[in-house]
Structure 1
Amino acid sequence: MMSKDWIGKWADYLGDKKAIYSVHQKRTEGYATINQKGEQLALNLYEAGLRKGDRIGVIAEFCIEYIYLLAASQKVGFILVPINYRLSKSELKYIINDASPKLLFVQDQWIEKVPQKSELPSVDYLMMTSLLEDLFIKKSSVLTTSLFEEFVIDEDDPLFILYTSGTTGFPKGALYTHKMMFWNAVNTGLRLGITDQDHTLVCVPPFHTGGWNVMLTPMFFHGGSATILSHFDIDLVFDLLQYDQITQLFLVPTMLKLMCDHKRFNRAVFPKLQFIITGGEALPLSIIDLWKEKGIDIRQGFGMTEVGPNIFSLHHDDAIRKIGSIGTPNFYTQIKLIDDDGEEVNDGEKGELVCKGDLVTPGYWNNPEATQKAFINGWFKTGDVLTRDAEGFYYVVDRKKHMFISGGENVYPSEVEKVLMLCDGVKDVIVTYVPDEKWGEVGFAFVIQQKGDELSKDQLQSHCLGHLAKFKHPKHYQMVSQFPVGQTGKIDRVSLKKEAEIMVKEESTLKLS
């Protein structure tokens, strides 16, 4: 049976070798110390009445205490529920009551956003994270670490409940098991060549699977180490990449673009960095080239909370040759592309990505209906539309939910965006859709111009001729200076769609008057 207690194993093998450095806390902890504090925390929580399967909600930025909670949960079988501290009080109330944690840890600065304990019936204990240290110092009066030998943690037991963004309704809590974390770490290590000498920087929030499972837990599995930031601070990131020992780094595309646009980028040096991993949307060639000039390769990939999350990886040697590709499936990953009838599609044809195996979630917490809808014949339906070329490289066409139908034809915004990105003067573009009296739905393009350029709707429409079928051409264009960004660092397409609908409605009202 696979070991679930990674921190404990590396404490035995590596002693107090550095595991975590928290920049904002100015603290460094080794594996042995994290293991010892994790043990003490687990015993005290057990003595307080928490058992295997009980949920521990956490409303906090990344901090060392979060890592102690992970260590304790691996030993006893607690389930961590990282909760988005940027949500409103009513949104927090929904998630807390849905997950029904017995214990809720809240970082001091977020306590005013948390509902009253009387509104949270499952919560027996509500603690500030600043008081966590008491649980590490206090010795259990009756329990010892020999208690851990009695616990049987199955590989299918959840370690996390990770809530999705809820853009199509109430958030859903994806179950993330010990088995998923193990195979994700194996896959990631094989593709990236992680060893106990590697060091990463984590600046993605902990309520997002990317914060935990793109790089951090794979590093722990291989005995590596990490620097954690409580939030993305671009100046700190530049400093750390220059002076820290960071060898591999995950950034979402928005972060990469922000760094390229920063005044420090041209003179910045990254002496230890091997490559940057990114995913979520395809990077323009110009961004890849800018980092290449710095001697840094970009490794694009693709994943999702419910699967892995690391599903595909594109080796940096293919970054230019296969621009726009998410690469090939990771080692222990079962995938296929299917049409609406559930049949596999051929090379070059669009199909929905479905996944199966040890990396796939068993379902959603307390939501059998959503779980049932997510699977087809044992395969998890991702909702992503992909194609595969003759060499076995995969490309994201679009999220199935982003697709719209114009005049009876399916339109995938990502395809339109790629064409518009080739137009002179276009720096970035997002295509959404709005209702249309004649065609049902039509495209609406938000465009960021290159500095010094002045683009017109006619220029953009002319560029689409010869590149796209007429039904794919956006009907509406809007020049903007930037795109709204959601809480996970990705572009907020939902906000843009709402903005587009308001603009079209106002335009229609003006014409009528």
Structure 2
Amino acid sequence: MAQTLPAAIAWWARMRGDQPVVILNGDVLTYAAYKAWSDRVAAMLIADGLEPGDRVAICSANSLAYVALIMGIIRAGGIANPVNFRYTTREIADLCETTEPRFAFAADDHIERMAAAGLAPRAMSEIDALRTGAPAILDRDVDPDAPVVIIATSGSTAKPKGVVFTHRTMTAYASNWALEETTSGPGSRIISLAPLNTSAGFVQLIHYGIQGCTLYMLPQFVAADALRLIEQEKINCFGAVPAFFEFIAALPEFAEADVSSLRYATAGGARVGRQLMDTWRAKGVTIRQIYGQTEVGGNATIMPEHLATDSPDKCGWGGLFNDLRVVRPDGSDCDPGEAGEILLRAPGMMVGYWRNPEETTKAIRNGWLYSGDIGKLDEQGLLTFVDRMKDLIISGGLNISAAEIERVVCEFPGVIEALAIAAPDPRFGETPLVVYHGDVEVDVTALIEYCGTNLSNYKIPRYVAFSPEPLPRLATGKLSKPALRQLYAGAHKRLTRVR
């Protein structure tokens, strides 16, 4: 099992068996217990008929059983298929229509929706029951180049695409950043905020597990709880959207807080402002801007600590083995300071989109991942993120496909066409704003209820605007989102918030 995820966990189970790998709500899972539990899960799945390459859907909030199930699936040679626990029945069906899971597991409060989506979910209590027991004997080897997970990602398409990682890509990603960043290593303590069904949550579990770290999983972000955890547990690494750092800094107790244990603080999803940087620098912590996306494995760049203070909004260079370019539409490299599309090449990149060769070919060309994002490099080669070419709304660190919202809104009676754009939000950074055109105004309350039935809560528009005129279009006839953004800049200030 050379260069596989179970091999890495088995190593730390021998080297640091009593060290926690995950702590959640005070419940501790050590590396030794993690290996034993996931081995028992793998043995059960194999006995139940799981074959290498079979997908296993999981719909649950973060739990230690979820952690064990993921590694058990992978140890058995299966492919983890995380399902967003916020998804509606329709969204679950859309996702699993492509992945076709052989097995499914769900927490009790998600079983009904999974069943309504056409799956036959088993209760997570089955996994809980395997936490203790006799050691499992496994004789199934796994292929380092075999897929281990399909992670749904929201982008410019109306339905999520499935990003595929293998043992080799995920171990390469962790090794790449372990060589680059010596601030996180065996024994380091990490705060993990993201659900395991997201790329951030899943990759953090695997990344830091491979490195022999301890993850403190928080069910939700509460600024006072996060600050207390940093102080009491001497947290070493914390990554979040800038707004979360701002919320912590705004606490009255922050002035006297001891955050000196933080050696590695990163922010993504929005720019780090000068005031925020200076506030944390006064406490001895440098917030370092990152740039990344699911398709490249996670982080693609991290701003070097010694340069971050002077340029808080820059995203840095790539990792030790990451390559980075910014190109013009003709593929030629941009000059320093010239904006163009960001191209990435890294050992931890996805191998492609699940059963979607057309989108894979668009995204990966000649070994380079075309990010769909706009950036520019300075004379030192440091990246500054400029804008997204893709229609993506990032709300509280969660990616929302504008196309998915538009698809649902356009199904509502009376709506002829609609566009979704990002509106500023003091809590989440961005939130969806929908502009629709129809012959007459529709019942907005009913529209929001319809969205609530077909979209996860965080995707539901918080602002809705009616346009009596057709929405702006490009010369090609396509709807023009840039023109709409210009027309509705600041519209959230005059619109009534609908939810």
TM-score, normalised via structure 2 length: 0.77
The one-letter amino acid of 1:198's match is S
Q: What is the CA distance between 1:491 and its match in structure 2?
A: 2.3
Is this contact kept in 1: 2:99–2:354, CA < 8 A?
Answer: yes
Question: Which string of whole-angstrom CA distances, capped at 9 and with x for unpartnered residues, describes residues 126-168 of structure 1?
Answer: 122133223445669xxx52413xx23133x211111012553
Higher relative contact order (CA 8 A, sep 6+): 2
* Post-superposition offset of 1:107: 1.5
TM-superposition CA deviations, 1:290-309 (whole Å, max 9, x none): 21222221121111101021
Give the match for residue 78 of structure 1: 78
**Matching residue of 1:491:** 430
Which residue of the partner structure matches residue 132 of structure 1? 127
1:301 partner letter:
I
Unaligned runs of 5+ in 2: 394-420, 437-460, 472-499
The equivalent residue for 2:257 is: 268
* CA deviation vs aligned residue, 1:13-39 (integer Å, no higher than 9, x gap): 22222222112xx31121111111111
Q: Deviations over 1:481-500 (max 9, x none)?
A: x3574xxxx623x4367789
Q: Which residue of 2 aligns with 1:505?
A: 467
* Shift >4 Å, 4+ stretches: 136-140, 444-447, 496-504, 506-509
Contact 1:253 1:279 in 2 (8 A): yes
Q: Say whether the 8 Å CA contact 1:301–1:312 is kept in structure 2.
A: yes
SS of 2:5's partner is coil
Quick one: which amino acid aligns to residue 130 of structure 1? S
2:277/2:286 contact within 8 Å kept: yes
Task: Decide whether aligned partners of structure 1 residues 146 and 88 sit closer, same or farther in structure 2, where only a CA change above 3 A counts.
Answer: closer
Aligned to 1:32: 32
Q: Which amino acid aligns with 2:430?
A: I
Alpha-carbon distance in 1 for matches of 2:262, 2:435? 38
Matches within 5 A, 1:14-25: 14-23=16-25
Distance 1:133 1:501 in 2: 42
Amino acid at match of 2:139: L
Counterpart-to-counterpart distance in 1, 2:177 and 2:359:
28
Structural mapping, 1:90-489, within 5 Å: 90-116=90-116, 119-120=117-118, 123=119, 125-137=120-132, 145-148=137-140, 151-155=141-145, 157-166=146-155, 168-193=157-182, 194-213=184-203, 215-401=204-390, 482-483=425-426, 485=428
> CA 1:145 to 1:138, structure 2 compared with 1: closer, same or farther past 3 Å?
same
Contact kept in structure 2, 1:183 and 1:332, CA below 8 Å: no
Q: Following TM superposition, by how much is the alpha carbon of 1:77 offset from its aligned partner in structure 2, in angstroms?
A: 2.0
For 1:501 and 1:246, the matched residues in 2 are separated by 38
Tell me which residue corresponds to 1:407.
Answer: none
Residue of structure 2 in register with 1:437 after alignment: none
SS in 2 for 1:105: strand
- Cα distance in 2, alignment partners of residues 318 and 497 from structure 1: 41
Contact kept in structure 2, 1:160 and 1:176, CA below 8 Å: yes
Offset at 1:173? 0.8
The answer to whether the 8 A contact 1:7-1:220 is kept is yes
1:346 Cα shift? 2.0
Distance 1:211 1:320 in 2: 28
CA distance in 2, matches of 1:74, 1:12: 19
Residues in 2 aligned to 1:40 and 1:402: alpha-carbon distance in whole angstroms:
43
Q: How many residues are matched? A: 418
| CA-CA distance at 1:2 after TM superposition | 2.2
Per the TM alignment, residue 225 of structure 1 is displaced from its structure 2 partner at its CA by 1.1
Take 1:11 and 1:185, find their aligned partners in 2: how far apart are those partners?
18
The answer to whether the 8 Å contact 1:203/1:232 transfers is: yes
Letter in 1 for 2:201: G
Deviations 1:27-68 (A, max 9, x none): 112111111111111001100011211111111122111221
Q: Normalised by the size of structure 1, how large is the TM-score?
A: 0.75
C-alpha displacement at 1:212, in angstroms?
A: 2.5
* 1:57–1:103 contact (8 Å) kept in structure 2: yes
The letter of the residue matching 1:109 is D
Q: Which amino acid aligns with 1:17?
A: Q
Measure, in 2, the Cα distance between the counterparts of 1:508 and 1:382.
Answer: 31
| Aligned mates of 1:195, 1:139 — CA distance in 2 | 31
**Taking structure 1 as reference, are residues 48 and 264 closer, same or farther at Cα in structure 2, changes over 3 Å only?**
same
- Label 1:334 to 1:154 Cα distance change in 2 as closer, same or farther (>3 A): same
Partner of residue 495, structure 2: none
Whether contact under 8 Å (1:189, 1:218) holds in the other structure is no
Question: Do 1:191 and 1:313's aligned partners in 2 also have CA atoms closer than 8 Å?
Answer: no
The structure-2 alpha-carbon separation of the partners of 1:445 and 1:38, relative to structure 1 and needing over 3 Å to count, comes to: closer
* Structure of larger gyration radius: 1
Cα 1:175–1:275 shift into 2, 3 Å: same
Counterparts of 2:422 and 2:171, CA distance in 1: 41
Aligned amino acid, residue 390 of structure 1: E
1:326 aligns to what SS in structure 2? Answer: coil
For the residue of structure 2 that corresponds to 1:491, the secondary structure is strand
Give the gaps of 5 or more residues in structure 1: 404-412, 414-443, 448-481
Secondary structure of 1:306's aligned partner: helix
